[in-house]
Each structure stands twice: as C-alpha cells, then as structure tokens.
Structure 1
C-alpha cells in the first residue's frame, strides 16, 4: 500500500483537498445534470479512498500546514464516507427535484460546485495544523452551506439562509476573537508569527501558556464554535436550515458540518487540559450538553415539520456528544466518539428517507404523512429502523454508545446521570410517538410519482453499518477509538 501511495503526484493528505478543490471548479463548468452528478460522485468517492489511505500514511506535520493524527482521521474518514454516500443519494434526488419543477436546471452547476467546495472546506478544517487556517475553513464551510440552504429560492429558503448567515457570522466572529486570544497567549512563549498559531507547537508548549488568556479564549471559542455545533441556546439557525434546504444538504449538515465544529472545540479542550493552571473546560461542555439534550427533547413534541423534527434530534444528539466529551475519561470519550460516528451514519440515513417521503407525499408536514409501511413498505420500514436506531433501541450502535455513557456517568457522577437519563427518555418518547403516526395506520395520499426515485442503497448501507456496530465492534476500531479517547483526556 505504502509503495503505491508514493507513486501519486501528491500526498494523500493533499489529495483530500486537491480532489474536491479541482472538482468544484470543474463542476461549475458542467451544465448537464447527469454528467455533473457522475463527476460529483466520482470526486466524492476518490476523496473517501484517499481519506482511507491516511490510516497508514501520516505526513510529517513540521513540513506542512496540514497534519494527521488518530483524532482527525476519525472525522476525516467518517466525513468523506458520508459525503460519498450522500453524493450517490443526491444524484437521483436532485434529478427528481428538477423533474417536478422544484429546482431549476440552471442551478445544477452551482449545486454540484458548492457540494465539492463544502467537502474541500471541511477537510481543510480537519487537517489544518494552524488554528487560524482552521477558523478560515469553518467560515468557508459556513458560507457554502448558507448558499446551498437557499438553493430553492423560495421566501422560506432565503429567510433560512439569511438567518443561518447572520447567526453563523456572529458565532464565527466569537470564534475568531477566541483564536486571537490563543495567539496572544502563545506569543510570549513561542514568538510572533506563524509558529504561535501552529497546533502541534501550541500543544507542545501548552503548559507554559497564560492560563488566564486560555480560560477567556475558551469561553469565546465555546460560544463561537458551539453555534456551529448547534448546541442550545446557540441553535436557532439549525432547524430552519435543515427544513428549507435540499435534503442532501440536511444530511451533510447533521452528518458532517456539526462534527467539524465539534472537532475544533475538542482541539481547544485538549489545549486547556494540557495547562495545569487553566480552568477545566469539561463542566462548560457538560452544562451546554445537558441543556441541549433536555431542551431538544421537549421541542421534539412540538414539531410539525418532519425535517425540523429530526433537526431537533440532531441538537439532542450533539448535546449528548458534548456531554460525553465534557465528562472526559477513557470510557466517556470512547462513548462520545462512538456516538458521534453512529449519529452521523444514522441521521444522514434518516434524512435520505425523509427526503424521499417528502417527495412521494408532496409535503413535509407530519400531519399529512401517515401509514408509510403500507403505502411504501421499503421506505417506510427503513424509516422505522432509522428512528429506532436514533432513539437508542438495541441492537443498534447508538444503544451501545448511550449505554456506555450512562454507565460511565452513574459510576463517576451519579447526580449528573439523573438529567442525562431524563433527557434520553424524553427524546425517546417523542420519537416513538411521532413514528407511530408516520409509519402506521391508514396511509395518507401520495402525489403522482413518475420519474426517477432516489437510490435506497446509501440509506440501507448506513443502517446496516449501524446495526453491525451494535452487534460487534472490530478490534482495530476499538483500539483506534481507545487511543483517541486517551488523547482527549
């Protein structure tokens, strides 16, 4: 494998940026839908393959603005895989949107180009060895998704995009201020210029950095990147963006973009944890995580739009992940990594299903979607399995991660386990209640369904992987996650 990789004109870490970067420009020149969709799938597939090579090929961070370790490889491999499967789903889904007149053919070049630009920016954020460059990448990812959320050009879509832009800009401004404070803390120790922004240099000198500046910086970073993660009360952009944008973008938002912002927070958490005089960042993550979990649990009962319903489910699960990493320790961190992986796979699968449901029923209103298991058995039962998985039922992978987290919390902080379990039960009840009406009973009318239908393959692959993870975790994967859990502290 290593010998083959050395035959490439660029390193694998460069390839996960070069492929989507070049593809974005090429796709902006391809007006034909079918050709554009194929190039989009090819580019996404190649990016995923190059991401896999990072498991064995690690560049020297001292000679590059980019670096790879066990932590960011988790995010890169997961993100590029979901990006690839979403591109497969997107190919037929967007084609159907054009056929029914919801999306204008003239926007195809824009959509495919922005899809690869988003892939580029997320991979750049995950591989950047410079905290300033990481900030730029997250901002670029925000701008590309803002444009894609407004793709339908309806009043609701444009309002959602504008709301996302305003709130996202506030968040990214706070994150920028936090990044500047990190630089100010590093400058007296490391010196001025680029070196004071390099992650590998920062973490090596973390113990000597000003703890006061680190403490203040993390508050701003938590608020800034926490907005991107979708943690309550910083979440207001997320439900609208999920509901009004194209369904593939909803899948990418929940399965990828939220994770990139979470990754940034984890890096800065590691920086504070390495300074013996800085305040422990864990309690802030635990607090926002519990607030998000319980708030979203209540809001699930009030949603009337099926995509908004699962957007609030994403807030719930990102809160749960933040809680896990805030608790820290080998078991809680392992549970957080596993839960993040399972959530990305499951939630993107659910949005694949929900997008098809909205097409066949002609609506996103929950009240108008009934009896899917009878009217569309394959689609209906796939949604049932997806919701069962996201609700935490065994034997799915999310049950495993939630069980590990609850066990760890009861063992270490029994009082915190009470609101944790309450939030989980609250969300579970809401999802089961909503699923009962959507999946069973007398079927609601369907719209005329002529033309192409989105592929079920990505949905099924994701759910099968989540099921396998609930039954058996391979030894190498467990060892990998355990190593990352130790890194996170």
Structure 2
C-alpha cells in the first residue's frame, strides 16, 4: 500500500494537469498537496527501516523494494519535490509562462518526480535503468519551457549526452546480466538486486570489471561526474528554477544511487579496491573541475550546476 501512496500521487497530478484544459491554478495546487502524500509514504518507509523492520517488497517478482538506501533516497526526492512543487509557477503568483506552458510544466515535472521515485524503489535492474532514462525524457521536456534558442539547445545537449551515457550503462547492465546467466542460467528474478548480489562472488572478475567501467561512465554522465558533466551548466541555467533545484538536489543523487547499487555487486566479485580507485580518481577530478569553474561563474544557476558536479 505504501508503494501505491508513494508512486501514484505524481502520476495522478500529471494526469490531472494533462486532462484539464486550459491550465487552472487549482491543478497546480492539487499537485503540490498530492506531493505531501508521497512524502508521508517515503517517511513511513524510512521510519519502518529505522525501526528494524524487514525491507518491504511489492509487485510480481518483488518488483519494488524499500531497503535503507532506497528509503533514504525516497525521502530526499519526495521532500525536495514537495518544496519545488509548492514554489512552482502557476500557483496564483505572477508567472512569465502562458497556460499551455504551465500545463506542460506540471505534466512533465510530476512525471519526472514519478520516474525518480520509481528508480530508487525498483528492485529490478531493468526497471531502474528504464526509470533513470525516463527522468531524462521528462525533464528535457521542461527545460525549454520558454522556447528560447538557448533553452532548446540546452535541452538537446542534455538529451544527447545523457542518452549516450545511459546507453553505456545499458551495455554494462547487459554484460553483468549475461555473465550471471552464464553462471546460473535463466533463473527467476535474475535481475533483482538481492539475486545478483548473492551470485556476485562467483561471477567472472574480468567481465564485471569491464561492466563496472561502462556502468560508472554511463550513470556517471547522468550524475554529472567530470568529464561527462558538460550538459549540467546549460540545462540548469535554462530550466525553470524548481526543476533546476530538483536536478541539483535529487536527480544527480538518483544516478549516484545506481552507481552505489552496482558498486556493491562489483565489490562482491572483485573486492572494493577496483571500484574505490575509479570513484576516487573521478571524484577528485570532478572537484577540481567544479572548483575552477565556479570561480568564473556569475549566473547563480550555473554556479548551482557546477557545485553539483
């Protein structure tokens, strides 16, 4: 039940914004208040985990699961999304956007929130990958809300770079999956995290090493890790402020969540040294790029973007 309360409110808000034409202020406020339901559900998951309860699952083949890491991300996403929705355009305050633009904003922002929540609650590697890719599509529809040349260019740049990254992540996922199949055969729930983790000590180290490189570069592109961060400044500076806040605050964390999930599996195969060295190297390089880039910025949104690297 809690998973329904977590995921359905943003879907319902998106559907309402799509159906009601032209856009009405009540639609925006309804979406904002519905976000509190998702926030309450996320906090309930977190409280349950803190109380020592077993990680709840839901759906066929335990498609959804809330352990300590996913519950933390759920609470963060729902909290930031709630704040963003309550400060979104189209809630009665003066707005530079017309009714059609506001309708598009509220449809795709709520779908964006849904995709992020699904990514961190998915117990299945494939569903998580699809949800992360969906965050790109939905957020890219909102970046050029004003339809200026700069915003359209930023949106296309974001789509192209992120899609290349997510394709590399898909390649890494396929490598790891086929290595698992070669070892264990086509077992039920083969793409579920607990099943992969239990088989990880027996997987081939060479395959998993290559798979993690693909996964790190792929999801790292979405996470804004240098040198794959080049979409960040343009997308953040052109996006509406609430979307920019969600991209900085939680979207990058969703991609890092995927990397952490895979790191646990890879560490069980290779030991922690390989993944730690890669992450440390890319992390230090990202810090250097961000620090020097921040000095040169005057636009606060671009500063926010570089601070997120």
2:39 alignment partner, one of 33, 45, 48: 48
Instruction: Tell me which moved more, 24-33 or 167-176.
Output: 24-33
Task: For residue 96 of structure 1, report the CA deviation from its aligned partner.
Answer: 2.5
Secondary structure in structure 2 of the residue aligned to 1:161:
helix
C-alpha distance after superposition, 1:176-207 (max 9, x if no partner): 10110110121123322652211111112211
Structure 2, unpaired ranges of 5+? none
Q: For 2:285 and 2:91, how far apart are their aligned partners in 1?
A: 35
Superposed, 1:172-183 pairs within 5 Å as: 172-183=166-177
Q: For 1:115 and 1:63, how far apart are their aligned partners in 2?
A: 29
CA 1:93–1:160: 2 relative to 1, 3 Å: farther
1:259 alignment partner, one of 253, 262, 266: 253
Q: For 2:117 and 2:57, how far apart are their aligned partners in 1?
A: 18
Note if 1:22 corresponds to 2:12: yes
Give the equivalent residue in structure 2 for 1:219.
213
Q: For 1:53 and 1:306, how far apart are their aligned partners in 2?
A: 35
Give the equivalent residue in structure 2 for 1:75.
73
C-alpha distance after superposition, 1:86-139 (max 9, x if no partner): 1111156884223xxxx2221222111111101110011001111111000000
Give the equivalent residue in structure 2 for 1:110.
104
Instruction: Tell me which moved more, 274-283 or 151-160.
Output: 274-283
Secondary structure in structure 2 of the residue aligned to 1:280:
helix
Note if 1:131 corresponds to 2:131: no
Q: Is the 8 A contact 1:27 1:39 kept in 2?
A: no
Note if 1:284 corresponds to 2:281: no
Secondary structure in structure 2 of the residue aligned to 1:256:
helix
C-alpha distance after superposition, 1:406-445 (max 9, x if no partner): xxxxxxxxxxxxxxxxxxxxxxxxxxxxxxxxxxxxxxxx
Secondary structure in structure 2 of the residue aligned to 1:195:
coil
Note if 1:161 corresponds to 2:158: no
C-alpha distance after superposition, 1:330-388 (max 9, x if no partner): xxxxxxxxxxxxxxxxxxxxxxxxxxxxxxxxxxxxxxxxxxxxxxxxxxxxxxxxxxx
Q: How many residues align?
A: 301
C-alpha distance after superposition, 1:33-56 (max 9, x if no partner): 411211110121111011111122
Secondary structure in structure 1 of the residue aligned to 2:134:
helix
Give the equivalent residue in structure 2 for 1:59.
56
Calculate the TM-score normalised by the size of structure 1.
Answer: 0.59
Secondary structure in structure 1 of the residue aligned to 2:29:
helix
Q: For 2:29 and 2:196, how far apart are their aligned partners in 1?
A: 42
Q: For 1:299 and 1:47, how far apart are their aligned partners in 2?
A: 36
Larger of the two Rg values belongs to structure: 1
Task: For residue 63 of structure 1, report the CA deviation from its aligned partner.
Answer: 4.7
Give the equivalent residue in structure 1 for 2:82.
84
Task: For residue 32 of structure 1, report the CA deviation from its aligned partner.
Answer: 3.1
Q: Which has the higher contact order (CA 8 A, sep 6+)?
A: 2
Calculate the TM-score normalised by the size of structure 2.
Answer: 0.92
Task: For residue 64 of structure 1, report the CA deviation from its aligned partner.
Answer: 1.9
1:309 alignment partner, one of 299, 303, 307: 303
CA 1:278–1:262: 2 relative to 1, 3 Å: closer
| Runs of at least 4 residues off by over 6 Å | none
Q: Is the 8 A contact 1:33 1:95 kept in 2?
A: no
Task: For residue 15 of structure 1, report the CA deviation from its aligned partner.
Answer: 2.2
Give the equivalent residue in structure 2 for 1:355.
none
Q: Is the 8 A contact 1:229 1:261 kept in 2?
A: yes
CA 1:110–1:223: 2 relative to 1, 3 Å: same
Give the equivalent residue in structure 1 for 2:234.
240
Q: For 1:44 and 1:301, how far apart are their aligned partners in 2?
A: 36
1:152 alignment partner, one of 120, 123, 146: 146
RMSD value over aligned CA atoms? 1.8
CA 1:293–1:301: 2 relative to 1, 3 Å: same
Task: For residue 82 of structure 1, report the CA deviation from its aligned partner.
Answer: 0.7
Q: Is the 8 A contact 1:175 1:221 kept in 2?
A: yes
Give the equivalent residue in structure 1 for 2:113.
119
